[in-house]
């Protein structure tokens, strides 16, 4: 009889575990047997210390010190964890925990002081993802603009460079410099540069420069004459040395090599020569003297 009763209790307890650990009252109502005390004894026998104990207001929670109550109220209001977890940590019920809060802070103070970011009611995940994608695209375009201006300044040596004023040769060099970082269609679209023009000028750059020696000669002449010779005088100097080349070629090569003559800015004519009479030492003395002479006269 005892063995059959034990088997019955074990089978019944397996049924209880499969029922997701219902509360005692619900379990007794569903099964109809046994009483609350018998069920608690079976649970303690099967798994000692595994039964959840719910403390009510009549338990030993009222014996907590003021510091313990204050710490529990702070944990409740900061919402680092749920109110149930805070209550179990201090060994009190949720209602007792809220009573401590009302005693120390008052009923008008909310139990949770954390701010929750509320999204607009019309915001959805798809809209947020589209907005995020648009922001990423804008950041990418701004980074492309920054890199283009930085590299163009390195190539042209001009801080006020405008991408729209670049020639096809400069655009080709710029695209080649940034091609490892960005896609070719993005660079051509931003520079408003045709694909066929890019590959044409790229093929020209790949050819051997037939004016390489002439470039060096022009640069040496320009530095020898202290940067004072323009393209006409450079062309005349080349002609005297027996070099037969057009003025247009000399001008183009000097422009590509950034060989610019520095000239003094012409001062604008003005007829103003300053005050003819010397300024008085003290204007107040002069004014007072004139006023006294006027009164006496």
Averaged pLDDT in 10-residue chunks for the chain of 297 residues:
59 58 56 65 71 53 72 77 81 83 74 56 74 88 87 73 82 89 89 90 83 92 91 93 92 90 82 73 66 68
What's the pLDDT at 239? 92
What's the pLDDT at 31? 59
38 to 16, 20, 22, 55, 103: CA distances (angstroms): 14, 19, 16, 19, 39
d(CA 67, CA 72): 9
Max distance between CA atoms of the chain, in angstroms, equals: 149
What's the pLDDT at 44? 74
What's the pLDDT at 151? 85
pTM for this prediction: 0.36
CA 13, 40, 26, 100 torsion: positive or negative? negative
What's the pLDDT at 58? 46
Stretch (H or E) spanning 145: helix 125-156
CB 94 within 8 A of CB 84: yes
CA angle, 132 as apex, 128 and 135 as ends, to 5°?
140
């Amino acid at each position: 009889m005892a063995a059959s009763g034990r088997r019955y209790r074990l089978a019944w307890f397996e049924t209880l575990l499969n029922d997701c650990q219902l509360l005692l009252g619900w379990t007794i109502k569903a099964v109809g047997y046994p009483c609350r005390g018998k069920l608690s004894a079976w649970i303690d026998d099967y798994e000692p210390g595994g039964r959840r104990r719910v403390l009510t207001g009549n338990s030993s929670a009222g014996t907590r010190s003021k510091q313990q109550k204050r710490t529990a109220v702070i944990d409740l209001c900061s919402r680092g964890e749920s109110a149930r977890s805070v209550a179990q940590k201090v060994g009190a019920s949720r209602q007792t925990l809220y009573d401590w809060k009302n005693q120390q802070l008052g009923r008008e103070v909310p139990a949770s002081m954390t701010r929750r970011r509320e999204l607009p009611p019309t915001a959805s995940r798809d809209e947020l993802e589209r907005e995020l994608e648009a922001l990423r695209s804008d950041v990418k375009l701004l980074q492309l603009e920054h890199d283009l201006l930085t590299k163009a300044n390195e190539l042209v040596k001009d801080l006020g460079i405008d991408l729209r004023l670049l020639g096809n040769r400069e655009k080709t060099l710029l695209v080649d410099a940034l091609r490892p970082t960005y896609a070719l269609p993005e660079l051509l679209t931003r520079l408003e540069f045709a694909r066929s023009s890019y590959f044409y000028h790229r093929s020209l750059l790949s050819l051997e420069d037939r004016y390489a020696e002439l470039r060096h000669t022009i640069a040496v002449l320009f530095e020898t004459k202290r940067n004072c010779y323009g393209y006409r005088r450079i062309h005349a100097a080349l002609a005297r040395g027996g070099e037969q080349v057009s003025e247009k070629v000399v001008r183009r090569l000097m422009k590509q090599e950034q060989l610019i003559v520095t000239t003094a800015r012409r001062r604008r004519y003005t007829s103003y020569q300053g005050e003819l009479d010397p300024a008085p030492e003290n204007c107040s003395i002069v004014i007072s003297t004139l006023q006294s002479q006027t009164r006496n006269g």
